[in-house]
Amino acid sequence: MPGSRTALFSRRQPGGLFAIQDVAAHPGDIWFVCSVTGTDGAGYGVNPDAPFATLSYAIGKATAAKGDVIYLLPGHAESLSGAAAITVNVSGLSIIGLGNGANRPTFTFHTTDAQVVVSAADVLLKNIRCTVDVDEVVSLFSVTAARVTFDTVDFFETASVQAIQFVTCGQDRFVVRNCTHLQAAASASNAKWIQITGGVGVVIEDNDLEIALTSNAASQVIANSAAATNMRVRRNLVMCTGAAAVPVSFHASSTGIAADNRITSGRTTLAGSIALGGLYGAENYAAHTANKNGILDPVADA
């Protein structure tokens, strides 16, 4: 081992040494990254007092399928340019942001093709903020491997620039949970914000998504554009604008259940806010007028 687990014992905190269970919970190596205080090089990364500077460098030091963890320290920030600006290609890796609110690690997508590619299986991304500083960023994340989880990977907009898509994935057991996304102005292009293009056992749950969309039926916040099986889409809050947009839409050949979702939109007609396709539905409500409660959409089964 490079020594990161030992570092957890030796680095003193205000309350004393790190607890033994902190080490026991991570059987692999533990790495630390901070753009403010870090250096990419030998002798760094194994201690939060001497972290690496970039996530890509830390990924290059991790070992596949060993349960390695990369901690992004509070205040860490990276500006991403170009396709595959960061490639997560180490299986079993957890990338976890530390800090609260605006002090959490932040990725800023700086070119329209800037993207994080997750190409290894069994990866976790957690507690990270994302934004763009150039207009019409095509897609922030591309997931090309199975069993990847996004947990509290949030998005916030900056003035006058928008993203077209947050993530696209067609792999088995993809999970998006606990994410908060806000984009109050629509991108110029039609958007499929969270796009599922296949896979088995995809889970989208407990997200708060307020996304402005172009007034076009091709624009969707949760978009399932190709057959996926055994989907679970539950307890999401989805707010969108666009008179013809379809906030949540599933493919006719998909299977699974969408339950307890709450949808508001700028649609001129309320029906069709949730297009279940091949999924079963339970307690999905839609509204398109303020100061009114939503109704079941689609209508209740007879």
pLDDT of residue 140: 98
| 3-state DSSP assignment of residue 292 | coil
What are the tokens at 49?
Answer: 């007092």
Q: What pLDDT is recorded for position 24?
A: 52
Q: What is the DSSP string of 84-133?
A: TSEEE--TT-EEEE-SSGGGS-EEEE-STT--EEE-SSS-EEEEEEEEES
pTM of the model: 0.92
Closest listed residue to residue 111, CA positions, set 133, 141, 84, 88: 133
Calpha distance 151→24 (Å, rounded): 22
Note the pLDDT tens digit of each residue in 52-68.
999 999 999 999 999 99
Cα–Cα separations (whole angstroms), residue 214 to 140, 241, 284: 19, 7, 23
Helix, strand or coil, per DSSP, at residue 6: helix
Distances (CA, A) of 33 to 28, 40, 58, 83, 231: 16, 9, 7, 22, 35
Measure the CA–CA gap between 171 and 148, rounded to whole angstroms. 8
CB 238 within 8 A of CB 223: no
Q: Which residues of the chain have pLDDT under 50?
A: 1, 3-4, 6-21, 23
**Could you give the C-alpha distances from 67 to 51, 70, 83, 196, in angstroms and in order?**
19, 10, 27, 27
The pLDDT of residue 300 is: 86
Rounded to the nearest angstrom, the gap between the alpha carbon of residue 266 and the centroid of all alpha carbons in its chain is 25
Distances (CA, A) of 244 to 215, 270, 277, 281: 5, 10, 18, 22
| Per-residue confidence (pLDDT) for residue 3, from 0 to 100 | 43
Residues 6+ apart with CB under 8 A from 291: none
- How long is the chain? 302
> 281-302: per-residue pLDDT in tens?
999 999 998 898 999 998 888 7
User: Rounded CA gap, 240 and 220, in Å?
Assistant: 9
The pLDDT value given to residue 27: 77
